[in-house]
Amino acid sequence: MYSFFTLYTNASHTVDGTAAGYDAKLRYDGYTDTMDQYLLANTGDLVRNVTSSLDEYDISGACDELRSYLDMLTNWYVRRSRQRFFDENTDAFDALYTALEAVCRVSASLLPLVSEEIWRGLTGGRSVHLADWPEASLFPANPELVEAMDRVQQICSTGSSLRKAANLRVRLPLQELTVVAPGADALAGFAAVVADELNLRSVRLLDAATASPEEFGIEQKLVVNARAAGPRLGKNVQQAIKGSKSGDWSVSDAGVVTAGGLELEPQEYTLETVVAESADGSSAAVAVLPGGGFVVLNTEVTPELAAEGLARDMVRAIQQARKDAGLNVSDRIHTTVLAVHDVVDALRANEELVKTETLSLKLDPVVSGDAAEPQITVTKIEA
């Protein structure tokens, strides 16, 4: 994380285009970007929670808080804000600097050597172990934003699991994700985040109070665990299995499951949420959200979506070619791709996307029937 921060701040340019670097500063307020506000609110929570754990000599709890925070910082804030760092957004620089400086002080007693090295590199100070403990009150509290963003991360994690289960790679765009959850209105401002994170054309948010699972063809399926139920039910376990498959089962208001007229113990069955087969042949996958609600992912891949997915695969390949050529992250390039018809057609149909993502000022896709694998040539364009 520290190396990422220094890479982009050191490469930052002044107004006249000189690469003079940017001296980030401690700043706790005045941020307009939601991600920055979320980061600082979360950092304040980290300080409070770690302080509480250490006051109670709960070292394990303090480590868990720090581990969870660093996961959010690395896999959510920085990854979601990468383009802002590339664009040399000073708010992003200051927000990350402020967060890292506080984290070093919080983690100093838990990770003394690492915290010392990073803090001295960040601040130029003598030692983090001589610094004061951070004040949580300096970080603006925003519990509503933190709760909403945490729910967004749960939705993205659940959607990603559905993609993986359906063998749909992340670079392949999909048409739509429907989110049915309590208080869905509070998530309206984050629909674009979910769409970008899961590579979706659109995201629908519906309140659980007004949308029922049946509207989406969602139903529960009972699966009897014969190995667990057999010792208790004996030969009658087949009666329970038959009832589960024929629909002769129910769940009482008290949560008791009965199949084929036989009551089952909790360890003897599982209830799976599935999407019934659509009459029009469309495909979907469903998953329950932690805390209530569910998501439905449209898994149908149209030719247009497949072509964009292929173009995004080529973006990844071109980025690797840039790296192999030793180019800087800001270098503009001329890209030539020799490939089969499908790849060339996909590149031409998504030319602007590929050029923007790879900093290619010029893109030349060329059909070559001899190219079993795409052959990529990148050439730096001098300013």
Per residue in 244-294, pLDDT (tens digit) is 988 899 888 788 899 999 999 999 998 877 766 554 456 888 888 887 788
**282 located within any domain:** no
Same domain? For 10 and 121 the reply is: yes
Q: Tokens for 186? A: 């509070």
Same domain? For 37 and 136 the reply is: yes
| Structural domain containing residue 86 | 2-141
Where does a domain end: 248, 267, 300? Answer: 300
Same domain? For 60 and 100 the reply is: yes
Entry pTM: 0.75
Q: How many domains does the chain have?
A: 4
Beta bridge partners of 339: 367
**341 located within any domain:** yes
**284 located within any domain:** no
Burial class, 152, CB count within 10 angstroms (exposed 0-12 / middle 13-18 / buried 19+): buried
Q: In this structure, are residues 335 and 296 in contact, taking their beta carbons and an 8 Å threshold?
A: no
Q: In this structure, are residues 298 and 174 in contact, taking their beta carbons and an 8 Å threshold?
A: yes
Q: In this structure, are residues 315 and 309 in contact, taking their beta carbons and an 8 Å threshold?
A: no
Q: In this structure, are residues 360 and 334 in contact, taking their beta carbons and an 8 Å threshold?
A: yes
Q: In this structure, are residues 53 and 62 in contact, taking their beta carbons and an 8 Å threshold?
A: yes
**29 located within any domain:** yes
Beta-carbon neighbour count of residue 307 at 10 Å? 19
Q: Tokens for 333? A: 């390039």
**283 located within any domain:** no
C-alpha to C-alpha distance for 12 and 374, rounded to whole angstroms:
34
**280 located within any domain:** no
Same domain? For 65 and 135 the reply is: yes
Beta-carbon neighbour count of residue 282 at 10 Å? 13
Specify the CATH number for the domain of residue 94. 1.10.730.10
Quick one: what percent of the chain has pLDDT higher than 90? Answer: 61
The length of the chain, given as a count of residues: 383
Instruction: Find the mean pLDDT for residues 36-42.
Output: 96
Beta-carbon neighbour count of residue 261 at 10 Å? 11
Same domain? For 40 and 104 the reply is: yes
Instruction: Find the mean pLDDT for residues 177-183.
Output: 90
pLDDT, tens digit (0-9, with 9 covering 90-100), for 185-241: 889 899 999 999 999 999 999 988 887 777 777 777 889 999 988 899 898 999 999
Q: How many CA atoms lie within 13 A of 180 on its CB side?
A: 18
Q: In what order do the strands lie in the sheet with 375-380?
A: 360-367, 333-339, 375-380
- pLDDT for 21 beyond 80: no
List of long-range contacts for 62-68, beta carbons under 8 Å, 24+ apart = 62/110, 63/110, 66/103, 66/106, 66/107, 66/110
Where does a domain end: 101, 121, 141? Answer: 141
**255 located within any domain:** yes
Q: What is the mean pLDDT of the chain?
A: 88
pLDDT, tens digit (0-9, with 9 covering 90-100), for 127-163: 999 999 999 999 999 999 999 999 999 999 999 999 9
In the three-class reduction of DSSP (H, G, I as helix; E, B as strand; rest coil), residue 27 is classed as: coil
Where does a domain end: 141, 176, 205? Answer: 141
Strand extents, DSSP E, 216-293: 218-224, 249-251, 257-259, 262-264, 269-275, 284-288
**287 located within any domain:** no
C-alpha to C-alpha distance for 98 and 26, rounded to whole angstroms:
5
Q: What is the pLDDT of residue 308?
A: 95
In the block, which residue shows the tokens 């979910």?
194
Same domain? For 208 and 236 the reply is: no
Same domain? For 225 and 202 the reply is: no
Same domain? For 165 and 266 the reply is: no
Q: What is the pLDDT of residue 10?
A: 64
Same domain? For 136 and 201 the reply is: no
Same domain? For 84 and 106 the reply is: yes
Q: What is the pLDDT of residue 321?
A: 93
* Rg of the chain (C-alpha set): 26
Same domain? For 21 and 105 the reply is: yes
Same domain? For 129 and 43 the reply is: yes
